[in-house]
Structure 1
Amino acid sequence: MGVPKRKPSRSRQRMRRAYNSVMRLPQLNPCPQCGEPTRPHRVCPACGYYKGRQIFSVTAGD
């Protein structure tokens, strides 16, 4: 079985792994307050809540 003579450089490793991260879609979870789909660990843009606390108030925009 072939054995590599040298360790792949960080740059080459990262270039190889970068392809996989581009193909993934962002995961969406329902907001516990309003039920809107939001990205995890971020403030909900629809209601302004994060972890049960209101971070900013959302007003009806034009």
Structure 2
Amino acid sequence: MLNFPDTDYHTAEELCPFFENDSLKTIRNALNELYDAGYLRRSGKTYMVNKVRITQMKLA
């Protein structure tokens, strides 16, 4: 979501075309995991990048 030039907030349905091998349910589960970890914020069905938290993310 950070790589989209127009906006850093999307619904799971809007992200589906970018992950053709994954179902909508799988994408929603992934978004919810990131939300639960604090990397995303949510307003209704829309997920937004938590830019404060994302800068603290540790890369594996």
* Structure ranking higher in helix proportion: 2
Instruction: Decide: shared fold, TM above 0.5.
Output: no
Higher RCO (C-alpha under 8 Å, 6+ residues apart): 2
Q: TM-score range by the shorter chain?
A: under 0.3
* Structure ranking higher in strand proportion: 2
Which of these two proteins has the greater Rg computed from alpha carbons? 1
Output the TM-score relative to the length of structure 1: 0.26
